[in-house]
Every structure is written in structure tokens, then in C-alpha cells.
């Protein structure tokens, strides 16, 4: 039994964020890193930079220019899979199993464009379709003793306190009822537990993303909680803590997402 800290971070280009790896490790002491929007093909992934910090094991599912996900680990990764969704090779899912048997799923759900209408906006249709495909896939893999982690940029802020203004964002993609319903359908496939909300009551505002476009993201604080870590019920009693590293949004050069860490005793 030892502590396992899993960190998820939408890096918005892993190559630009390489100089921040040391600060990330110092702040959160991760054992497993799940990255999204790596924006790099696997052949060009900066593996060496992570290896120098002890993350010598990797499961990559890259893509050119947009998307791309990766799991980096201090301990070996086995049974690596790279599922593709909606018939696209756009690097949205990679999964791997740790020695403890815990399976890590790193996901990047599409943003969904501007208009929350699947008929008028193909990007929104893609987002809903991908969530539907994921739900069917996870439902088919269900087993009561499964010890799974589902983490990544899900691009949906489900609770009222997961956005700076519930009222202002109800019709904004990322907080519309139809997306939240689709996310809830996915959550129910394994009775997934939102590991961050397990520690922070739903009344307390919690964000993991702040737009680049604000003049002063910190002062405006118009955030959304788009990045999540979920665990299956057999892992509930192993949950030890959760942190959203808000200060990382102020690092230079910053991602618009903050890293989210969850610690399990496994």
C-alpha cells in the first residue's frame, strides 16, 4: 500500500510546456501524468524531457496540430490501448494498466464549438456522439470489481459551482443541460465517483480552466471546471486527497488549464 498521485493536465502543446515539468513535479509529486492537447505526433513527443524527471514509461496517442493525449509514468504501463472515436484518428483516448491493476484512462473530449445545437453545429454533434460512444464502450466493460480511473479534459462543467456564473453559461457550450446529461450518462456506466468533488462540497466554486482572453484571468476569475478525475466505486475508500493547482495557470508560458491531482492509497 502506497500513495499514488495521478495528475491530469491539458497542456495546450506539450512541447511548449516542457520547461514547466520540473515545477509541476515539485508542486504535486505525481506518479502518473495524464496530458491532453499534446499537439504532437508520437515520433516527435519529448520523451527525454519526462525521462529526465523519472517518467520513463509512456503511453502515447498523438495527433498532428490538434488533440493528442499521453500517459507518462514512473512505474511500468501495461495493456496499453488507443481507442478511436467517431471514426477519427484525432488522439482523444489512451489507457494503460499499472502494476496494482488500476487502469488509467486519459481522455480529451471535443470542445464542441460555439453553438449548442448538434444540427447547426457539427462540432457539437461530434462532442455528443463521442460521449455516446464512450458511454457504450465503458458500459460494455463494466465489472463490479473494476478499479478504473477516468481522467482528462472532459470539456464539461457539470455543477452550478463548476462555472463562474451558472446563469450566464447555461447556453454556453461546456455547461448546457444536454452536455451535462450526456456526461451524467457516462458517469452512470460505472457509478464513477468525481474524486475532486469527493473532497470539496458542491457548494464551493471550483475551476480548472480560465480563458486566455481575459485581460486578467486571476482578477476576473471567470473559470470553469472542465478537467476531471473519476474513479470506480472499489477505489472510493482509497481516495486520499485532491488538488487543483490554480497557481499553474499563472506560470509562464501558461496553459489555459490548471493541473488536477488526485491521490489514492493503493
Partner DNA sequence: ATGGCAGGTTATACCTGA
Q: According to the binding rule CB under 7 A, does residue 161 interact with DNA? A: no
Minimum distance of DNA from residue 12's CB (angstroms):
5
Of the two residues 13 and 146, which places its CB atom closer to DNA in the complex? 13
Of the two residues 3 and 114, which places its CB atom closer to DNA in the complex? 114
Determine the length of the chain: 266
User: Cα–chain-centroid distance for residue 113?
Assistant: 18
Task: Report the residue from 57, 61, 147, 224 that binds DNA according to the rule CB under 7 A.
Answer: 224
Minimum distance of DNA from residue 172's CB (angstroms):
8
Minimum distance of DNA from residue 159's CB (angstroms):
15
Q: According to the binding rule CB under 7 A, does residue 19 interact with DNA? A: no
**Torsion sign over Cα 86, 261, 204, 232:** positive
Task: Report the residue from 83, 113, 132, 234 that binds DNA according to the rule CB under 7 A.
Answer: 113
* Residues in region 230-249 near DNA by CB under 7 A: none
Cα–Cα distance between 202 and 162 in angstroms, integer?
A: 8
* Residues in region 43-82 near DNA by CB under 7 A: 64-66
Task: Report the residue from 6, 9, 31, 37 that binds DNA according to the rule CB under 7 A.
Answer: 37
Of the two residues 30 and 62, which places its CB atom closer to DNA in the complex? 62
Minimum distance of DNA from residue 62's CB (angstroms):
10
Rounded to 10 degrees, the C-alpha dihedral 157/162/167/173 comes to: -20
What residues have CB less than 8 Å from 139, skipping those under 6 apart? Answer: 189
Cα-based angle 188, 193, 199 (whole degrees, multiple of 5): 150
DSSP secondary-structure letter at 254?
P
- Which of 154, 122, 131, 151 lies closest to 224 in space, CA to CA? 154
**Torsion sign over Cα 68, 69, 74, 77:** negative
Q: According to the binding rule CB under 7 A, does residue 39 interact with DNA? A: yes
Question: Which single residue is written with the C-alpha cell 502518473?
Answer: 32
List of residues contacting DNA (CB under 7 A): 10, 12-13, 15-16, 37, 39, 64-66, 110-114, 123, 153, 155, 173-174, 209, 211-214, 224, 226, 253, 256-257
Amino acid at each position: 500500500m502506497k500513495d499514488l498521485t495521478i495528475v491530469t493536465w491539458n497542456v495546450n502543446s506539450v512541447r511548449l510546456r516542457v520547461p514547466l515539468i520540473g515545477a509541476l513535479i515539485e508542486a504535486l509529486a505525481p506518479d502518473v501524468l495524464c496530458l491532453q492537447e499534446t499537439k504532437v505526433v508520437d515520433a516527435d513527443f519529448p520523451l527525454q524531457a519526462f525521462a529526465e524527471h523519472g517518467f520513463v514509461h509512456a503511453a502515447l496517442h498523438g495527433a498532428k496540430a490538434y488533440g493528442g493525449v499521453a500517459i507518462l509514468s514512473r512505474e511500468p504501463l501495461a495493456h496499453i490501448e488507443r481507442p478511436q472515436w467517431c471514426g477519427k484518428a484525432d488522439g482523444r483516448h489512451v489507457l494503460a494498466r499499472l502494476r496494482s491493476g488500476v487502469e488509467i484512462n486519459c481522455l480529451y473530449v471535443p470542445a464542441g464549438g460555439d453553438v449548442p445545437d448538434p444540427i447547426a453545429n457539427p462540432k457539437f454533434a461530434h462532442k455528443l456522439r463521442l460521449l455516446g460512444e464512450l458511454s457504450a464502450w465503458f458500459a460494455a466493460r463494466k465489472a463490479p470489481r473494476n478499479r478504473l480511473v477516468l481522467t482528462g479534459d472532459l470539456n464539461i462543467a457539470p455543477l452550478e459551482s463548476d462555472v463562474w456564473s451558472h446563469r450566464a453559461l447555461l447556453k454556453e457550450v461546456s455547461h448546457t443541460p444536454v452536455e451535462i446529461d450526456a456526461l451524467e450518462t457516462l458517469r452512470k456506466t460505472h457509478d464513477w465517483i468525481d474524486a475532486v468533488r469527493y473532497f470539496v462540497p458542491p457548494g464551493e466554486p471550483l475551476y480548472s480552466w480560465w480563458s486566455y482572453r481575459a485581460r486578467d484571468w486571476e482578477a476576473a476569475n471567470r473559470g470553469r471546471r472542465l478537467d476531471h478525475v473519476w474513479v470506480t466505486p472499489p477505489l472510493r475508500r482509497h481516495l486520499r486527497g485532491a488538488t487543483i493547482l490554480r497557481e499553474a495557470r499563472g506560470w509562464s508560458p501558461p496553459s489555459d488549464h490548471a493541473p488536477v491531482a488526485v491521490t489514492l492509497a493503493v
